[in-house]
Structure 1
Amino acid sequence: MLYNALKLLHVLSIIVWVGGMAFAHFFLRPAVQQLAPAERVPLMRAILQRFLAAVGASVVVVLTTGLALIGMVSMGGGFVMPWDWKFMSGVGLLMMAIYAYIYLALLSRLDTAVQAADWAVGGDALARIRTWVGINLLLGTAIVVVVLLW
Protein backbone atom coordinates (compact mmCIF):
# COMPACT_ATOMS: atom_id res chain seq x y z
CA MET A 1 0.00 0.00 0.00
CA LEU A 2 2.80 2.45 0.89
CA TYR A 3 4.63 1.61 -2.34
CA ASN A 4 1.53 2.38 -4.41
CA ALA A 5 0.90 5.64 -2.55
CA LEU A 6 4.50 6.76 -3.12
CA LYS A 7 4.29 5.81 -6.79
CA LEU A 8 1.05 7.78 -7.14
CA LEU A 9 2.61 10.88 -5.58
CA HIS A 10 5.64 10.42 -7.83
CA VAL A 11 3.55 10.25 -11.01
CA LEU A 12 1.20 13.10 -10.01
CA SER A 13 4.18 15.36 -9.36
CA ILE A 14 5.61 14.49 -12.76
CA ILE A 15 2.26 15.28 -14.37
CA VAL A 16 2.29 18.75 -12.77
CA TRP A 17 5.86 19.37 -13.93
CA VAL A 18 5.82 17.96 -17.47
CA GLY A 19 2.19 18.86 -18.13
CA GLY A 20 2.78 22.41 -16.96
CA MET A 21 5.76 22.76 -19.26
CA ALA A 22 3.73 21.47 -22.21
CA PHE A 23 0.91 23.90 -21.44
CA ALA A 24 3.25 26.86 -21.06
CA HIS A 25 5.33 26.02 -24.12
CA PHE A 26 2.60 25.14 -26.61
CA PHE A 27 -0.45 27.12 -25.43
CA LEU A 28 0.32 29.93 -23.00
CA ARG A 29 3.38 31.45 -24.65
CA PRO A 30 1.90 31.60 -28.16
CA ALA A 31 -1.28 33.19 -26.77
CA VAL A 32 0.54 35.99 -24.92
CA GLN A 33 2.88 36.78 -27.84
CA GLN A 34 0.26 39.20 -29.17
CA LEU A 35 0.61 41.39 -26.06
CA ALA A 36 2.95 44.35 -25.96
CA PRO A 37 6.22 43.67 -24.10
CA ALA A 38 5.17 45.97 -21.23
CA GLU A 39 2.17 43.68 -20.66
CA ARG A 40 3.61 40.31 -21.69
CA VAL A 41 6.85 40.34 -19.68
CA PRO A 42 5.29 41.14 -16.26
CA LEU A 43 2.45 38.69 -16.93
CA MET A 44 4.85 35.87 -17.80
CA ARG A 45 6.94 36.70 -14.74
CA ALA A 46 3.87 36.37 -12.49
CA ILE A 47 2.89 33.10 -14.15
CA LEU A 48 6.42 31.68 -14.01
CA GLN A 49 6.84 32.59 -10.36
CA ARG A 50 3.75 30.56 -9.49
CA PHE A 51 4.54 27.70 -11.84
CA LEU A 52 8.18 27.40 -10.82
CA ALA A 53 7.18 27.37 -7.14
CA ALA A 54 4.82 24.47 -7.88
CA VAL A 55 7.56 22.72 -9.84
CA GLY A 56 9.90 23.22 -6.87
CA ALA A 57 7.44 21.33 -4.69
CA SER A 58 7.10 18.69 -7.41
CA VAL A 59 10.88 18.28 -7.60
CA VAL A 60 11.02 17.64 -3.85
CA VAL A 61 8.21 15.07 -4.07
CA VAL A 62 9.67 13.37 -7.17
CA LEU A 63 13.12 13.10 -5.62
CA THR A 64 11.87 11.95 -2.22
CA THR A 65 9.40 9.41 -3.55
CA GLY A 66 11.84 8.16 -6.19
CA LEU A 67 14.51 7.49 -3.59
CA ALA A 68 11.95 5.87 -1.28
CA LEU A 69 10.67 3.61 -4.06
CA ILE A 70 14.18 2.52 -5.01
CA GLY A 71 14.95 1.93 -1.34
CA MET A 72 11.81 -0.15 -0.78
CA VAL A 73 12.50 -2.36 -3.78
CA SER A 74 16.17 -2.83 -2.93
CA MET A 75 15.61 -3.76 0.74
CA GLY A 76 15.20 -7.43 -0.10
CA GLY A 77 18.82 -7.65 -1.21
CA GLY A 78 20.23 -8.66 -4.59
CA PHE A 79 18.51 -5.72 -6.24
CA VAL A 80 19.85 -4.63 -9.62
CA MET A 81 18.24 -1.41 -10.77
CA PRO A 82 16.59 -1.90 -14.19
CA TRP A 83 17.95 0.06 -17.15
CA ASP A 84 14.83 2.23 -17.46
CA TRP A 85 15.04 3.21 -13.78
CA LYS A 86 18.68 4.22 -14.27
CA PHE A 87 17.66 6.30 -17.29
CA MET A 88 14.79 7.87 -15.35
CA SER A 89 17.04 8.67 -12.40
CA GLY A 90 19.89 10.14 -14.43
CA VAL A 91 17.76 12.21 -16.77
CA GLY A 92 15.52 13.24 -13.86
CA LEU A 93 18.53 14.61 -11.98
CA LEU A 94 19.57 16.51 -15.11
CA MET A 95 16.05 17.97 -15.32
CA MET A 96 16.30 19.04 -11.68
CA ALA A 97 19.59 20.80 -12.40
CA ILE A 98 18.03 22.62 -15.35
CA TYR A 99 15.08 23.60 -13.17
CA ALA A 100 17.50 25.00 -10.57
CA TYR A 101 19.25 27.07 -13.26
CA ILE A 102 15.93 28.43 -14.51
CA TYR A 103 14.72 29.22 -11.00
CA LEU A 104 17.92 30.58 -9.49
CA ALA A 105 19.49 32.37 -12.45
CA LEU A 106 16.98 33.10 -15.18
CA LEU A 107 13.96 33.95 -13.05
CA SER A 108 16.00 36.45 -11.04
CA ARG A 109 17.19 38.01 -14.31
CA LEU A 110 13.55 38.30 -15.36
CA ASP A 111 12.61 39.80 -11.97
CA THR A 112 15.34 42.43 -12.27
CA ALA A 113 14.26 43.32 -15.81
CA VAL A 114 10.61 43.73 -14.79
CA GLN A 115 11.54 45.89 -11.79
CA ALA A 116 13.61 48.11 -14.11
CA ALA A 117 10.92 48.05 -16.83
CA ASP A 118 13.61 46.84 -19.23
CA TRP A 119 11.44 44.87 -21.62
CA ALA A 120 14.30 43.93 -23.96
CA VAL A 121 16.26 42.24 -21.13
CA GLY A 122 13.03 40.70 -19.86
CA GLY A 123 12.26 39.35 -23.32
CA ASP A 124 15.76 37.88 -23.52
CA ALA A 125 15.31 36.22 -20.11
CA LEU A 126 11.97 34.79 -21.25
CA ALA A 127 13.56 33.46 -24.44
CA ARG A 128 16.26 31.71 -22.40
CA ILE A 129 13.66 30.30 -20.02
CA ARG A 130 11.63 29.08 -23.01
CA THR A 131 14.70 27.32 -24.43
CA TRP A 132 15.50 25.52 -21.17
CA VAL A 133 11.85 24.66 -20.55
CA GLY A 134 11.77 23.17 -24.06
CA ILE A 135 14.84 21.07 -23.28
CA ASN A 136 13.32 19.91 -20.00
CA LEU A 137 10.07 19.10 -21.76
CA LEU A 138 11.94 16.92 -24.26
CA LEU A 139 13.84 15.19 -21.44
CA GLY A 140 10.66 14.61 -19.44
CA THR A 141 8.90 13.22 -22.49
CA ALA A 142 11.87 10.93 -23.16
CA ILE A 143 11.62 9.58 -19.62
CA VAL A 144 7.92 8.84 -20.03
CA VAL A 145 8.51 7.11 -23.38
CA VAL A 146 11.40 4.99 -22.10
CA VAL A 147 9.68 3.98 -18.88
CA LEU A 148 6.42 3.06 -20.61
CA LEU A 149 7.94 1.26 -23.60
CA TRP A 150 10.82 -0.65 -21.97
Structure 2
Amino acid sequence: MLYNALKLLHVLSIIVWVGGMVFAHFFLRPAAQGLAPEQRVPLMHAVLQRFLTAVAASVVVVLTTGLAMIGMVSIGSGGAFSMPRDWHFMIGAGLLMMALFGYLYFAVLSRLDAAVAAADWAAGGAALARMRTGVGVNLALGTAIVAVVLLW
Protein backbone atom coordinates (compact mmCIF):
# COMPACT_ATOMS: atom_id res chain seq x y z
CA MET A 1 0.00 0.00 0.00
CA LEU A 2 2.83 2.44 0.83
CA TYR A 3 4.55 1.69 -2.47
CA ASN A 4 1.33 2.45 -4.37
CA ALA A 5 0.87 5.72 -2.47
CA LEU A 6 4.46 6.73 -3.31
CA LYS A 7 3.92 5.84 -6.96
CA LEU A 8 0.72 7.91 -7.05
CA LEU A 9 2.52 10.96 -5.60
CA HIS A 10 5.40 10.37 -8.04
CA VAL A 11 3.12 10.27 -11.09
CA LEU A 12 0.94 13.19 -9.96
CA SER A 13 4.05 15.34 -9.52
CA ILE A 14 5.23 14.40 -13.00
CA ILE A 15 1.79 15.29 -14.40
CA VAL A 16 2.07 18.77 -12.83
CA TRP A 17 5.58 19.24 -14.24
CA VAL A 18 5.15 17.85 -17.76
CA GLY A 19 1.54 19.00 -18.13
CA GLY A 20 2.50 22.50 -17.06
CA MET A 21 5.26 22.58 -19.66
CA VAL A 22 2.80 21.48 -22.37
CA PHE A 23 0.38 24.24 -21.36
CA ALA A 24 3.06 26.94 -21.17
CA HIS A 25 4.88 25.94 -24.35
CA PHE A 26 1.98 25.20 -26.68
CA PHE A 27 -0.88 27.35 -25.37
CA LEU A 28 0.16 30.21 -23.09
CA ARG A 29 3.29 31.39 -24.91
CA PRO A 30 1.72 31.47 -28.39
CA ALA A 31 -1.34 33.31 -27.04
CA ALA A 32 0.85 35.84 -25.21
CA GLN A 33 2.92 36.53 -28.35
CA GLY A 34 0.20 38.91 -29.56
CA LEU A 35 0.67 41.17 -26.54
CA ALA A 36 3.01 44.14 -26.44
CA PRO A 37 6.30 43.42 -24.62
CA GLU A 38 5.32 45.59 -21.64
CA GLN A 39 2.27 43.32 -21.17
CA ARG A 40 3.71 39.98 -22.32
CA VAL A 41 6.88 39.96 -20.23
CA PRO A 42 5.19 40.73 -16.86
CA LEU A 43 2.44 38.20 -17.63
CA MET A 44 4.88 35.43 -18.49
CA HIS A 45 6.99 36.38 -15.46
CA ALA A 46 4.01 36.05 -13.11
CA VAL A 47 2.98 32.71 -14.62
CA LEU A 48 6.53 31.32 -14.63
CA GLN A 49 7.13 32.34 -11.01
CA ARG A 50 4.07 30.36 -9.94
CA PHE A 51 4.75 27.43 -12.25
CA LEU A 52 8.44 27.07 -11.38
CA THR A 53 7.60 27.20 -7.67
CA ALA A 54 5.14 24.33 -8.20
CA VAL A 55 7.78 22.45 -10.20
CA ALA A 56 10.28 22.94 -7.37
CA ALA A 57 7.84 21.13 -5.07
CA SER A 58 7.29 18.49 -7.75
CA VAL A 59 11.04 17.92 -8.07
CA VAL A 60 11.29 17.28 -4.33
CA VAL A 61 8.36 14.86 -4.43
CA VAL A 62 9.59 13.05 -7.56
CA LEU A 63 13.09 12.61 -6.17
CA THR A 64 11.93 11.57 -2.70
CA THR A 65 9.29 9.14 -3.87
CA GLY A 66 11.54 7.70 -6.58
CA LEU A 67 14.33 6.99 -4.13
CA ALA A 68 11.87 5.55 -1.61
CA MET A 69 10.37 3.21 -4.21
CA ILE A 70 13.80 2.02 -5.36
CA GLY A 71 14.73 1.42 -1.73
CA MET A 72 11.55 -0.53 -1.04
CA VAL A 73 12.02 -2.75 -4.10
CA SER A 74 15.69 -3.25 -3.27
CA ILE A 75 15.00 -4.22 0.34
CA GLY A 76 12.18 -6.54 -0.71
CA SER A 77 14.34 -8.34 -3.25
CA GLY A 78 16.37 -10.25 -0.67
CA GLY A 79 19.67 -9.07 -2.12
CA ALA A 80 18.86 -10.01 -5.71
CA PHE A 81 17.85 -6.51 -6.79
CA SER A 82 18.53 -5.48 -10.35
CA MET A 83 16.88 -2.34 -11.66
CA PRO A 84 15.04 -2.63 -14.96
CA ARG A 85 16.59 -0.78 -17.93
CA ASP A 86 13.72 1.69 -18.13
CA TRP A 87 14.36 2.71 -14.52
CA HIS A 88 17.99 3.53 -15.43
CA PHE A 89 16.76 5.71 -18.27
CA MET A 90 14.14 7.34 -16.03
CA ILE A 91 16.73 8.16 -13.38
CA GLY A 92 19.31 9.54 -15.81
CA ALA A 93 16.91 11.64 -17.85
CA GLY A 94 15.05 12.72 -14.70
CA LEU A 95 18.25 13.96 -13.07
CA LEU A 96 19.09 15.83 -16.27
CA MET A 97 15.62 17.42 -16.18
CA MET A 98 16.16 18.42 -12.55
CA ALA A 99 19.53 20.00 -13.37
CA LEU A 100 18.03 21.97 -16.25
CA PHE A 101 15.14 23.03 -14.02
CA GLY A 102 17.68 24.28 -11.46
CA TYR A 103 19.33 26.43 -14.13
CA LEU A 104 15.96 27.82 -15.25
CA TYR A 105 14.80 28.47 -11.69
CA PHE A 106 17.96 29.94 -10.20
CA ALA A 107 19.60 31.63 -13.20
CA VAL A 108 17.05 32.43 -15.90
CA LEU A 109 14.17 33.35 -13.59
CA SER A 110 16.52 35.71 -11.72
CA ARG A 111 17.32 37.46 -15.00
CA LEU A 112 13.62 37.70 -15.76
CA ASP A 113 12.96 39.08 -12.25
CA ALA A 114 15.57 41.78 -12.77
CA ALA A 115 14.30 42.65 -16.24
CA VAL A 116 10.71 43.06 -15.04
CA ALA A 117 11.80 45.14 -12.03
CA ALA A 118 13.77 47.44 -14.36
CA ALA A 119 11.05 47.45 -17.06
CA ASP A 120 13.75 46.25 -19.47
CA TRP A 121 11.52 44.44 -21.95
CA ALA A 122 14.36 43.48 -24.28
CA ALA A 123 16.24 41.71 -21.45
CA GLY A 124 12.95 40.16 -20.35
CA GLY A 125 12.36 38.86 -23.87
CA ALA A 126 15.86 37.38 -23.94
CA ALA A 127 15.26 35.64 -20.60
CA LEU A 128 11.93 34.31 -21.89
CA ALA A 129 13.67 32.96 -25.00
CA ARG A 130 16.13 31.06 -22.78
CA MET A 131 13.23 29.82 -20.68
CA ARG A 132 11.39 28.65 -23.81
CA THR A 133 14.44 26.69 -24.98
CA GLY A 134 14.95 25.08 -21.56
CA VAL A 135 11.28 24.20 -21.23
CA GLY A 136 11.33 22.71 -24.73
CA VAL A 137 14.31 20.50 -23.88
CA ASN A 138 12.76 19.44 -20.56
CA LEU A 139 9.45 18.72 -22.27
CA ALA A 140 11.23 16.47 -24.79
CA LEU A 141 13.05 14.67 -21.97
CA GLY A 142 9.87 14.27 -19.92
CA THR A 143 8.00 12.93 -22.92
CA ALA A 144 10.83 10.50 -23.67
CA ILE A 145 10.75 9.23 -20.08
CA VAL A 146 7.01 8.62 -20.22
CA ALA A 147 7.31 6.86 -23.60
CA VAL A 148 10.22 4.66 -22.52
CA VAL A 149 8.60 3.67 -19.22
CA LEU A 150 5.29 2.83 -20.88
CA LEU A 151 6.67 1.12 -23.99
CA TRP A 152 9.90 -0.57 -22.91
Q: Same fold (TM over 0.5)?
A: yes
The match for 2:100 is 98
Matches within 5 A, 1:122-137: 122-137=124-139
Q: Distance in 1 between matches of 2:116 and 2:2?
A: 45
The match for 1:65 is 65
TM-score (norm 1): 0.99
The match for 1:83 is 85
Shift of 1:47: 0.4
Q: State the Cα deviation string for residues 38-86 of structure 1 (Å, max 9, x = none).
A: 0000110000000000000000000000000000000022101110000
Q: Distance in 2 between matches of 1:148 and 1:92?
A: 15
3-state SS of the aligned residue for 1:48? helix
Q: Distance in 2 between matches of 1:67 and 1:57?
A: 16
The match for 2:31 is 31
Uncovered stretches (5+) of structure 1, i.e. residues with no partner: none
Shift of 1:94: 0.2
Uncovered stretches (5+) of structure 2, i.e. residues with no partner: none
Q: Distance in 1 between matches of 2:25 and 2:57?
A: 20
| Aligned-partner residue type, residue 7 of structure 1 | K
Q: Distance in 2 between matches of 1:27 and 1:42?
A: 17
| Aligned-partner residue type, residue 99 of structure 1 | F
Q: Distance in 1 between matches of 2:3 and 2:118?
A: 49
Q: Root-mean-square deviation (CA), in Å?
A: 0.4
Q: How many residues align?
A: 150
Q: Distance in 1 between matches of 2:80 and 2:31?
A: 52
Give structure 1 regions of 4+ aligned residues with deviation exceeding 2 angstroms: none
The match for 1:43 is 43
The match for 2:4 is 4
Q: Distance in 2 between matches of 1:21 and 1:30?
A: 13
**Percent of pairs identical after alignment?**
78
Q: Distance in 2 between matches of 1:84 and 1:98?
A: 21
Shift of 1:21: 0.2
